[in-house]
Amino acid sequence: MNLRRTKAVARKEFLHILRDPRSLVMALALPLLMILLFGYALTLDVDRIPCVTYDSDQSPESRELIARFQGSRYFHILGAASSYQAIEDKIDKDECMLGIVISQNYARDLHLGRKPQLQLLFDGSDSNTASIALGYANMIVQNAAVEIRGRAQNRMGRNLPGFPVETRLRVWYNSQLKSKNYIVPGLIALILMIIGALLTSLTLAREWEMGTMEQVLSTPLRPAEIALGKMSAYFTLGVVDMVLTIIVGVGVFQVPQRGSYIFLVLTGCLFLFGALFWGILISALSRSQLIAYQVAMLTSFLPAFLLSGFVFAIENMPPVPVQVVTYLFPTRYYVTILKGIFLRGVGIDVLYREVLFLAAYAVVVFMIAVKRLKQKVA
């Protein structure tokens, strides 16, 4: 392989990028648009859940419980209902998601050490949100019951049965449980995969459609020099996109970055290397820009969005065949690396398996792309 010829191909691609300012602006603006759009619009936070109350007890203890729901950022009390039917009507009209029904003897049962009756009526249309909201509501109810019963014990001078253990929760790495801290690092992998695959998937296909590929093949250029030269130009553009997304994630969305920036950039370059050569392989397999674009989107966006753990936990997917298939996509490993660097602050000593897979993936895709280019030359 001749370095001079490789640099010549890279220079040709750089000039092509600079002569097409619309594509250049799109390549730089699209990552910013995607991270801002996804970062603000795609959220898994469950807060300000609209709910109504039906208090049959009308005691200071029941009003204290309602006040705890009002003071929580997870719930928004719309008002009081006069009956079960009123709660049902509001849920049917999608005016509220939760109905809190307090039994008539709620305070008396608490003071006597009995189990008070409390009913939570959820709209389960969105099962994920309802499950999370149920956890929040149970926590508020249990904490209120423990405190009220504790005050009753102090007044009576004796212990009441129930709640012998006090549970204290401590959340590591994302103590505020903000979904943006979980989503934005994964967005970097999603954007780099899409941009990397799309940028290079059209290069060779465009050459074939314009009729210039025959001229390129008539030169002394070797397939590896063509692949590396074309990749080099778009690699520079991809690195700029990566830096922009990291700056937006840390600066705009205030995502904690606890790891090494050097390790973050190096792993990003390794992942980008594989993504760009995947695009070149797609371009080598197709002589049509339309087909190359469609295949690039199908093999980059969908796996990166659905099968990488970016939004949906891989552990909750069916073990066979979905979880098995996820091991074939590099985005799964890079998302793990990003979340490890950003949230946990870990390095190569913990993430070496993922780094090795990205390196192996990049080498294998490069070799297959070069082999395919040799077949085109033949």
HSE-up of 111 (CA within 13 Å, CB side)?
A: 11
The whole-number average pLDDT for the span 38-63 is 85
CA distance 46 to 32: 26
pLDDT at residue 5 in the model = 82
Instruction: Yes or no: say if 223 and 374 are a contact pair by the CB < 8 Å rule.
Output: yes
Mean pLDDT check: name the lowest of 91-100, 141-150, 156-165, 291-300: 156-165
CA distances from 294 to 235, 240, 283, 302, 308 (A): 21, 25, 11, 11, 20
3-state DSSP call for residue 122? Answer: strand
The phi-psi region of residue 9 (left if phi > 0; otherwise alpha if psi is between -120 and 50; otherwise beta) is alpha
CB neighbourhood size of 304 (10 A): 26
Residues 23 and 17 sit within 8 Å (Cβ to Cβ): yes
pLDDT at 265: 93
Residue 218: left if φ>0, alpha if ψ -120 to 50, beta else—which one? alpha
Residue 163: pLDDT band by 50, 70, 90 thresholds? Answer: very low
pLDDT of residue 154: 67
Which contacts qualify for 86-90: CB closer than 8 Å, 24 or more apart? 86/52, 86/54, 87/52, 87/54, 87/121, 88/121, 90/52
- pLDDT score, position 272: 92
**Which position has the token pair 């009220």?**
148
Whether cis (ω within 30° of 0) applies to the bond prior to 321 is yes
| Mean pLDDT, the chain, whole residue set | 83
- 49-156: CATH homologous superfamily? abc type-2 transporter like domain (3.40.1710.10)
> Measured between alpha carbons, how far is 303 from 310 in angstroms, rounded to an integer?
10
Half-sphere exposure of residue 340: CA atoms within 13 angstroms, side-chain side: 19
Give pLDDT tens digits for 361-375. Answer: 999 999 998 888 776
Residue 338 has pLDDT above 90, yes or no: yes
Q: What are the sequence ranges of the domains in the chain?
A: 21-43+178-377, 49-156
Q: What is the pLDDT of residues 217-271, one digit of tens each?
A: 667 778 788 888 888 888 888 899 899 999 999 988 888 899 999 999 999 999 9
On the question of pLDDT at 172 being above 50, the answer is: yes
- Higher-pLDDT residue of 52 and 316 is 52
Residue pLDDT, tens place only, 72-116: 888 999 999 888 888 888 888 888 888 999 888 888 887 777 778
Percent over 70 (pLDDT), the chain: 92
- Tens digit of pLDDT for each residue in 174-218? 777 777 888 888 889 988 888 888 878 877 777 777 777 767 766
The mean pLDDT of 7-18, rounded to a whole number, is: 81
Residue 164, pLDDT score: 44
Instruction: Give the pair of three-digit tokens for residue 287.
Output: 């002589």
